[in-house]
Structures are given as structure tokens and as C-alpha cells.
């Protein structure tokens, strides 16, 4: 049976740091986990992960002691079910705009009595070989995480309702989609966007929910950690683009001309 070390660390009051991986390559997932990230978020929304790819990457991540999580394509029961059965220890669900949407995400993730996730002898239950079905459903409900995205103006307006959803572990700020929803795509420093981010952050930090943020740089991550965010996410794309650009910039410096 699986143990969700990321969920346990959060319960113990620690901060967790993860990396978003859009490319369904188990070796990359294992490499990132080996670097020491607490969790790897396998991207099925904007990335290329499906259930088969989740299963392969999850095995590699577990091998290195990190937590495999999955960002699902949409808040749909059948999608959440397949990503969890494949090997994700929790799901990050995009575009949650209301209390009812958050409730639906949690119910899709949990077995009864809290939810209505379909039951099968998947790899997450060790194929039914180590524990009874009853024990598995209990353990899975305890261990599985639910991370909900706040990335629209509607979600910001309903943020107080999110705080009352039992089983919603992390409320995650999606800044780019939020800026788009507010009419300022990509302008994270626009006053409207900054105010919306502050509204969400203040509400979550004053509750028993964990605030999650996307922080591509160490300085940005440290700023949010000092503010109280404890679920920090960066991206594999950032490392590749910035690392390659920095490398090439050092090689392509024009030599100085002596006069």
C-alpha cells in the first residue's frame, strides 16, 4: 500500500516543494525525484500525460521516495478515477469556481462514505494482494490528496466557500489563468491581478487549508514561503529554457576588440 509522504509533511506543518512535468518520460520523472523534490506533478491538463503514462512515471517517482501527483485534464469523475487508479497519490484539479465544484472534485477522489470513486483492484491497492478491499478504501481515503486550482475571477469571489470543503487539502493559486480571466493575460503585476491574488492568499492563510503557489524562481518561492505558502510548485520547462538560454548566452558573448 502507498503512503503519501507529501500529505504527511503538510500535516506535520512542513513546506513541500514540487516540480510540474509535462512530458511523459519516466526517466525525467525519476531524475527530478532524485533531485530531492517532495512531489512531481504529472501534467494531464496542458501536458501529455494519460493514465498509462501516469502509471509508468509514478513507479519511477516512488522508486526515489517522492510523491507522484497528477494534474487532471478536467474536473470529471471518470478522468480523476483513471489517473488515481494508474498511480497518482492525489490530483490537482483545474478551474474550480464554486463550492459545488470543489465538492465534486473531492467526491471523485474519495471512496465512500465521503465520495463515490469507483472501486477496482488497481495497482494502488496492490492489485488486491496485500490488504482487504475495506482496508484499502480506508487507507486510500486517508492518503489521497486533493489540490484545487483558483484561477478565475469567479473562484476568487467564492474563495470563502472553498475553505469549508472537507477533504480539500490545498488551495492553489493559478496566476496565469487568473490574469487571463481578469482581462490582463500574463500581466501578473497588474493591480487587479495582484489584488485577486492577495484576496485568495489572505483567505487561505487564515484557514486550516494549505496555500499552494506557482513559484518558478527561488526568490519568488522564498517570498511566498515567508508569507506562509507551504505547497510550492516550479516547472521542468523553466529549468530547461532558462538553463539552455544561460548556457548559450555565456558562449555567444562577443569578444572585446582592443584598440
Q: 149 an active-site residue?
A: no
- The single residue of 14, 46, 149, 184 carrying the catalytic annotation is 46
Q: DSSP assignment of the chain, as one string? A: ----HHHHHHHTT--EEEEEE-S--HHHHHHHHHTT-SEEEEESSSS---HHHHHHHHHHHHHTT-EEEEE-SSS-HHHHHHHHHHT-SEEEE----SHHHHHHHHHHHSPTTT--------GGGGGGTSS-HHHHHHHHHHH-EEEEEE-SHHHHHTHHHHTT-TT--EEEE-HHHHHHHTT-TT-TTSHHHHHHHHHHHHHHHTSSSEEEEE--SHHHHHHHHHHT--EEEEEHHHHHHHHHHHHHHHHTPPPP---
Q: Are 189 and 175 in contact (CB under 8 A)?
A: no
Closest C-alpha to 140, from 167, 162, 170: 167
Catalytic residues: 46
Amino acid at each position: 500500500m502507498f503512503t503519501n509522504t507529501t500529505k504527511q509533511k503538510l500535516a506535520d506543518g512542513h513546506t513541500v516543494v514540487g516540480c510540474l512535468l509535462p512530458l511523459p518520460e519516466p526517466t525525467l520523472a525519476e531524475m527530478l525525484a532524485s533531485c530531492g523534490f517532495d512531489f512531481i506533478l504529472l501534467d494531464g491538463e496542458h501536458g501529455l500525460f494519460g493514465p498509462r503514462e501516469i502509471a509508468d512515471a509514478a513507479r519511477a517517482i516512488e522508486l526515489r521516495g517522492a510523491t507522484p501527483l497528477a494534474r487532471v485534464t478536467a474536473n470529471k469523475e471518470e478522468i480523476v478515477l483513471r489517473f488515481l487508479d494508474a498511480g497518482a497519490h492525489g490530483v490537482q484539479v483545474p478551474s474550480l469556481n464554486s463550492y459545488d465544484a470543489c465538492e465534486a472534485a473531492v467526491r471523485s477522489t474519495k471512496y465512500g462514505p465521503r465520495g463515490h470513486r469507483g472501486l477496482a483492484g488497481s495497482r494502488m491497492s496492490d492489485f488486491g494482494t496485500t490488504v482487504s478491499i475495506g482496508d484499502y478504501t480506508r487507507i486510500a481515503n486517508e492518503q489521497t490528496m486533493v489540490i484545487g486550482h483558483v484561477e478565475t475571477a469567479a473562484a476568487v469571489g467564492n474563495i470563502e466557500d472553498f475553505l469549508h470543503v472537507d477533504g480539500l487539502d490545498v488551495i492553489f493559486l493559478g496566476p496565469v489563468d487568473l490574469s487571463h480571466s481578469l482581462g490582463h493575460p500574463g500581466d501578473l503585476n497588474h493591480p487587479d491581478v495582484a489584488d485577486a491574488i492577495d484576496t485568495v492568499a489572505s483567505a487561505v492563510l487564515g484557514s486550516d487549508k494549505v496555500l499552494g503557489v506557482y513559484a518558478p524562481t527561488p526568490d519568488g518561492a522564498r517570498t511566498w514561503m515567508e508569507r506562509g505558502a507551504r505547497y510550492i510548485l516550479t516547472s521542468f520547462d523553466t529549468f530547461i529554457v532558462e538553463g539552455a538560454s544561460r548556457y548559450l548566452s555565456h558562449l555567444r558573448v562577443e569578444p572585446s576588440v582592443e584598440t
